[in-house]
Amino acid sequence: MPGAKQGGLADVIAGQTGISTVGKEGKGLSYRGYSIYELAQFATFEETAYLLLYGWLPTAQQLNEFHRQLADSRELPPAIASILELLPGSTHPMDVLRTGISALASFEPEEEDRLALDIAVRLLGCTSSMLLYWHHYQHSGKRIDTSGSGGGIAEHFLSLLHQREPDEQHVKALDVSLTLYAEHEFNASTFAARVTASTLSDYYSAITTGIGTLRGPLHGGANEAAMELIERYDNPEEAESGILEALRVKQLIMGFGHRVYSVSDPRSDVIKEWSLTLSEQAGDRKLYDISERIEQVMRREKKLFPNLDFYSASAYHHLGIPTSLFTPVFVLSRLTGWSAHILEQRARNRIIRPSADYIGPEPQGWLPLEQR
Ligand SMILES: CC(C)(COP(=O)(O)OP(=O)(O)OC[C@H]1O[C@@H](n2cnc3c(N)ncnc32)[C@H](O)[C@@H]1OP(=O)(O)O)[C@@H](O)C(=O)NCCC(=O)NCCS
C-alpha cells in the first residue's frame, strides 16, 4: 500500500494522450509533435492555441478567422458584468474566474448549437475581460470597455490591465509565456478536468474543476508564491541566507522541483531569458539577481531546478501584472490544454474511477447512541 511518500499517483500511467509529451523517454516537451522551443520562438499564442484545440497549425486564412472569433468573444453579457460587480474586492482573482466562468454556463450553456470548441474560443476571448472588468471595478469603481483594440490575447490582456497601448516587447513576452503555460500532459488540473469530463458532465464543469485544482500553491499557485518569496529579500546575499534557513527548517521553496522532470524544466530556460530581457529593459535587475542566487543555492543544496513558475514571477512583475493575477494568467493559457484534453477524453471515454487500498478500522458492531 503506498504511503504519503509513494502516493500521489507518481509514475502511474493513467491513460493515453496524443496532445503533448513532457520529456519522458527522451522525447522533450512538445505539443502535438512540435517542440516547445520552436513554438515559443516562432508561433504566436493564437497559433499554439489553435494547434491544441484543432490538432494542426492553422493556415493564414484559418488564423485570421480564429483571431476574428477571439475578438468577437471579448464582450461580457451584462448579467455577467453585474455578477462580477457583486464579488468583493477581497475575492481571490482565481475565485473570480471560477465564478465568472461558472456563471457564463447559465447564459451560454453547452448545447447542440454551442459545442465545447465554440465555448473554448469564447472563454479564450473573454477570460481577460472577466478578470480585468472585476479588477478595475473593485479597485477604482470603473466599468471598463472589454472589447479592446485589435491584436491578440496577450495584447488584449495588457491593454485592459494598464488601460493603454502596451509595449511591443511586453506583448511578446506575455505571448511566449502563454505558449509555455498552455499544455502539460496529465498535470493535476488537466487530470482533474478529465475526471469531470469522464462522467459525461458538461464542458464548463470540467473547466471550473481545472481552475479549482490549478489554484493550489503546489500547482499553478506556485508563481504567486514564488513572487512572494523573491520580494522578501533586498539583495542576493539576504536571499541566500533566507533560503538556507528555510531549507534547514524543511520549508518548500516555491517554483522549484517537478513531479515529472528530474534535471531541468525546459520551459524555465525560455522564461528565464525573458525575465532577464525585461529586467534590463526596465533598468532594474534586483529581482532577477535575487532569483538567480536562489536558483544557485537550490541547485547546490538540493539539486533542485527552477520550474516554469519561478522566473515567470519576475517576468510578470516587469509586465506590471499584480501578483494576485499571476495564476489567473496561467488559466488564460491553460484553457487551451484543458479543452484539448476534455475533447480527447470525450472522444474515447470511459469513466475514470480508480480503486483505493483500505486502511481504516476492522469491521465493528453498531454502537447505539447512548453507548458511545
Ligand atoms: C512540484 C512538486 C509538488 C513535486 O512534488 P513531488 O513529486 O511529490 O516531490 P517530492 O516530495 O517527491 O520531492 C522529493 C524531495 O525533494 C524535496 N523538494 C521537492 N520540491 C522542493 C522544493 N520546492 N523545495 C524544497 N524541497 C523540495 C522534497 O521535500 C523531497 O525531499 P525529501 O526526500 O527529503 O522528503 C514539489 O517539487 C513542490 O512542492 N514544489 C514547489 C511547488 C511548485 O513549484 N509547484 C509548481 C510545479 S510546476
pLDDT of residue 149: 74
CA 256 to ligand 1 center in whole angstroms: 7
- List the grid coordinates of 22: 513532457
Partnered with residue 22 across adjacent β-strands are 29
Please identify which of the residues 67, 184, 258, 317 carries the catalytic annotation. 258
| Distance (Å, whole) CA 87 – CA 93 | 10
Spatial contact of 157 and 170, defined as CB atoms under 8 Å apart:
no
Cβ-contact 308, 266 below 8 angstroms: no
Rg (CA), the chain: 22
Verify whether residue 139 is a known catalytic residue: no
- The string of DSSP codes covering 28-43 is -EEETTEEHHHHHHH-
The pLDDT profile of the chain, 372 residues, written as one tens digit per residue, is 455 556 899 989 999 999 999 976 667 899 999 999 999 999 999 999 999 999 999 999 999 999 999 999 999 999 999 999 999 999 999 999 999 999 999 999 999 899 999 999 999 999 999 999 999 999 999 999 999 877 999 999 999 999 999 999 999 999 999 999 999 999 999 999 999 999 999 999 999 999 999 999 999 999 999 999 999 999 999 999 999 999 999 999 999 999 999 889 999 999 999 999 999 999 999 999 999 999 999 999 999 999 999 999 999 999 999 999 999 999 999 999 999 999 999 999 999 999 999 999 999 999 999 999
From 92, 162, 219, 289, active-site residue? 219
- Specify whether 258 is catalytic: yes
Q: Specify the pLDDT at position 1.
A: 45
Q: What are phi and psi of 16, to 5 degrees?
A: -115, 150
Nearest Cα to Cα of residue 230 among 307, 172, 143, 288? 288
- Our measurement of the distance from residue 245's CA atom to the centroid of its chain's CA atoms, rounded to an integer in Å, reads 30
Atom 25 of ligand 1 has which residue's CA nearest to it? 252
252 C-alpha to ligand 1 centroid (Å): 7
Assign residue 330 a region (left: φ > 0; alpha: ψ between -120 and 50; beta: otherwise).
alpha
- CA of residue 187 to ligand 1 center, whole Å: 14
Q: Domains of the chain by range and CATH? A: 34-168+192-215+327-347 (1.10.580.10), 222-318 (1.10.230.10)
The pLDDT of residue 148: 81
- Secondary structure of 306-360 in the HEC alphabet? ECHHHHHHHHHHHCCCCHHHHHHHHHHHHHHHHHHHHHHHHHCCCCCCCCCCCCC
- 251 C-alpha to ligand 1 centroid (Å): 10
170: its cell numbers: 511586453
Which residue CA neighbors atom 3 of ligand 1 most closely? 218
Facing residues of 35 across strands?
30
Q: Which residues line ligand 1 (CB under 6 A)?
A: 8, 10, 218-219, 222, 252-259, 302, 304, 307, 309
Task: Specify whether 309 is catalytic.
Answer: yes
Q: Tell which atom from ligand 1 comes closest to the C-alpha of 226.
A: 44
| Confidence at residue 26, expressed as pLDDT on a 0 to 100 scale | 62
What is the reported pLDDT for 4?
57
- CA 213–ligand 1 middle distance (angstroms): 17
